[in-house]
Structure 1
Amino acid sequence: KLIEVRIQRVHVHPSIMMEGKPNHIDPDLWKPVIMSFQKFYGLAPGQLHPSRLAEIPESSYLSPDVARARLA
């Protein structure tokens, strides 16, 4: 299965914008937090910090369309 998305708008905090280039993000200032399988990661190896989401049973936040998709 494949998912394709189209990003229509991005909101960026001014503090990470590249000086002199209004449409660019300065990679030296950007410190992303990436969530992967209910755990938080950055650009360095290893988990950044524990996730409270990982403590909640998945059934508590799944929407009904997920169950329908699994039956398809």
Structure 2
Amino acid sequence: MAVEAAALLIVLCLFLSIILGASGGAFITDVARNATQFLQAVPPGTLLGVALLLGLYWWFRGRRTN
């Protein structure tokens, strides 16, 4: 539950940073800057691998419940 809340907070700060820009405040700007730097530092193959693993997990989980 805490992981989902933290991820939601980061996504919310990114969206607010896009909408409000520099007037969004220091917290929103710092979270958006840190998230952007992290995503730029991670190799594209890693993000693709994580996305594929999550997709397979949800697919298998959906098949198991049906």
- The verdict on a shared fold, with TM-score over 0.5 as the criterion, is no
Name the TM-score class by shorter chain.
under 0.3
Greater share of residues in strand? 1
Bigger RCO (CA 8 Å, 6+ sep): 2
Computing the radius of gyration over CA atoms, which structure comes out larger, 1 or 2? Answer: 1
Q: TM-score, normalised by structure 2?
A: 0.27
Q: TM-score, normalised by structure 1?
A: 0.25
Greater share of residues in helix? 2
